[in-house]
Amino acid sequence: MKGLGFHFSSLLGNASLELWYFTAVILMVGWLDNPEIAVDAVSICMNLQLWALMIALGFNAAISVRVSNELGAGNPKVAKFSVVVTVLTSTIIGVVFTALILVTKNDFPKVFTGKPAVMKEASKLGYFLAATIFLNSIQPVLHGVAVGAGWQLLVAFINTGCYYIIGLPIGAVLGYKINLGVKGIWSGMLAGCVLQIIILTFVFLRTNWNKEALKAEERIRTWGGSEEPQQSSSEHNMNE
């Protein structure tokens, strides 16, 4: 139960880091000159982004549980296959939402506001919103895989480093120093997200899933599993 609680607290912690980062972006936009219209436009886009993110977070939780279960059962090939299927499924859904935003970028602001200036500003952010929705259909799923594999600390460092140490400073420089405004701040967020995806993908490609299954069995025994472990399919695969 101790390990299970840590598992789900890690999922919630990573989700909180995501939401806090979006809040920080809105606060940064509030420090721009004449921020009223910009804050309204960004808030509209962030609401849409968070709606789409809820789907990705569902995949995040699902793949985390599936990977941990399959590794614990000694099925590394099934765990790896589940990762591929989940990432592809979430990405396809993300592509659909991305296309929807691009097609309606001049119209979706009308659902949230009747102010022409805000609608125009939100429409300008349509491409940035579409890119964010696409990237966040992949990144949370990769986080879920990492948590399910027992890499909670690693993914926490990657999340914090890419978003708060790299993304926010880049956004601040582009937004304030280079005077790109909202687009510059949002570009920093995109940079942090892209970097996370690259790092996590690199980690997964170098992962030996058979060894991860054996590590999972060790954790099960440590947390109160059976004292005499059965031969797992991971051991069988390694013997082959």
Contacts of residue 145, defined as CB under 8 A and 6 or more positions apart, other chains included, come to 63, 64, 67, 83, 86, 200, 204
Residue 31 scores a pLDDT above 60 = yes
pLDDT single digits (tens) 173-226: 999 999 999 999 999 999 999 999 999 999 999 999 999 888 888 877 877 555
Q: Which domain holds residue 44?
A: 2-234
CA angle 168, 49, 193 (to 5 degrees): 40
- CA-based nearest residue to 182, from 47, 49, 50, 42: 42
- pLDDT of residue 5 exceeding 80: no
Q: Is the residue at 29 inside a domain?
A: yes
Q: What is the pLDDT of residues 55-74, one digit of tens each?
A: 999 999 999 999 989 998 88
Which single residue is written with the structure tokens 């982004």?
49
Residue 9: the pLDDT is: 53
Query: How much of the chain, in percent, has pLDDT values that exceed 90?
Result: 65
214-218's contacts with Cβ under 8 Å and 24+ in sequence apart are 215/71, 215/150, 216/68, 216/71, 216/72, 216/74, 216/149, 216/150, 217/72, 217/74
| pLDDT over 70 percentage in the chain | 85
Band (pLDDT 50/70/90 cuts) for residue 113 is: very high
Residue type, 34: N
The answer to whether position 240 is within a domain reads no
In a domain, 239, yes or no: no
Is the residue at 78 inside a domain? yes
Burial of 227 (0-12, 13-18, 19+ CB in 10 A): exposed
**How many other C-beta atoms lie within 10 A of the C-beta of residue 109?**
26
What does the pLDDT look like over 140-159, one tens digit per residue?
A: 999 999 998 988 889 889 98
Q: Looking at the domain assignment, is residue 106 inside a domain?
A: yes
Residue 213 lies in a domain: yes
Task: Give the Cα separation of 177 and 204 in Å (integer).
Answer: 36
pLDDT band with cut points at 50, 70 and 90 for residue 234:
very low
Q: pLDDT tens digits for 68-95?
A: 899 988 899 999 999 999 999 999 999 9
What does 8-74 look like in DSSP terms, one character per residue?
A: HHHHHHHHHHHHHHHHHHHHHHTTSSSHHHHHHHHHHHHHHHHHHHHHHHHHHHHHHHHHHHHHHTT
Tell me the whole-structure pTM to 2 decimals: 0.84
Whether the Cβ atoms of residue 83 and residue 111 lie closer than 8 Å to each other: no
Tell whether 42 is covered by a domain: yes
pLDDT (mean) for 125-143: 95
Task: Give the span between the Cα atoms of 140 and 190, in whole angstroms.
Answer: 14
Inter-CA distances, 39 with 25, 26, 35, Å: 10, 7, 6
pLDDT for the residue 221: 80
Q: Which three-class secondary structure state does DSSP give residue 111?
A: helix
- Is 47 within a domain? yes
How many domains does the structure of the chain reveal? Answer: 1
Residue 1 is predicted with a pLDDT of 42
pLDDT score of 132: 96
Q: Find, among 150, 157, 146, the residue nearest to 214 by Cα.
A: 150
